[in-house]
Structure 1
Amino acid sequence: MKDELRLGGEPARGTGSTTLADKIYDDILHLILHKPLPEGSRLPTEAQFCQMYAVSRTVVREALSRLKIDGIVTSRRGQGSMVLRRPNAGVLDYPEIGSIATMQRLFEFRQVIEAEITYFAATRHNAEEFARIRAAHDAVQDALSQGHPGIEEDRLFHLAIAEAAHNAFLCSALASAGPQFIKSIEFARSLSGKISPQRIAKVCEEHEAIVEAIQQRDPEAARHAMNEHLTRTRTRVFLEE
């Protein structure tokens, strides 16, 4: 199991590919941040985007749909698309992000997989595995309290939970993300560290809720705690608060 969960090595196949919709998604984020466009500002029309990128309305609508799902853009009948909430400007400062759209989808993937992994970890862990989870959680807190990003400690925390799930298929799915998994942790930590100690405290609280639910062998609470943690992490990373 541990060998399967070596979250690094070769990149997952296809994770580096960028579609036209991804490019438009990323470009709209840059437009909102660098124009800059405040909340409530109107974006170019679908027809204008089609002309700008020489693409069909289907491609433009896919990009706008993703931005709506991510809480950045909204649309109103007769008024077109408008900025609902400005993204975190720090996402554009991270040198290895690649496609912002791809990173968004990676967080979605992690939510789906890790919520279920945590569910099973709550029901199947043994005393030794829980001790590793608790120790990994403590290591994250210690690193953050000393001003370190805690990237490796965070990876080991999530890895310890995955090992306690005793499901090779779920673990293989998580491992398939390869270095992209590590990149998502680095990305979240770099932005959280830049912003405020309060956000770091929130991360520790969210981890504690996960650990407590696993300890109580409450799978529903564990799943919910992990889902909430990754949802809030994604919000902290991509949106201004």
Structure 2
Amino acid sequence: MRLQLSDAVRELPWFRQIASRIILLWPLKAVGTSLFMALFFWGYFGVLESPLRAAVVMPVTAVDRWVPFTELALPVYVSLWLYVSLMPALLGSFRALLYFGFWVAALCLFCLSIFWLFPTEVPAAGIDWALYPSMALIKGIDAGGNACPSLHVASAVFVACWFQRMLYGMKAPPALHRLNWAVCLLIVWSTMATRQHVVLDVVAGAAIGLLFALRALRDVERCCKGGAI
């Protein structure tokens, strides 16, 4: 079984590499991503149901009041799962896939530990969620205790950094680099526009996502051929 893209494929234009990257190890990527998601949600809801102590309400800042609520942000908020799943699907080697899986798992475990030890929640938004059925569903499932740091933001920033490295290695045009960061920023915005998080959650999540990404990509640089992913 082929464990990485050939040098010839890596020299192709970025748009001609896409199919080869998706096909490479696709059964492992599909099963691994599905299993990871299942285990994550099992641990996530388990932590929310059994926190160590009562959740502390996060303070609201002027920035939170400046960002208006909109139900239109919900599809962007949910798109994180597609964004995160695309990264392993496009990785070009088994070793890079292992490093990504290890570090994204470490990121999730770190944040879940914080949620369990120091649970926090967003303040009441003063919105009648019955008027927004799709939002009411999320609010009913996503109990308090997971506000700070925002794992949504941490995951988006972590994956954006990996995409940046991959796009650089593929010699993708600057427009794709900008698109990658635009998607990341939209997801960050959606966490506040849906009232799932306040800005302090976002800042903490972004810092954690960036720190984990830098450490992970440093390991990739050291252990993978030329840092190629």
Task: Say whether the fold is shared (TM-score over 0.5).
Answer: no
TM-score (norm 2): 0.30
**What TM-score comes out, normalization by structure 1 length?**
0.29
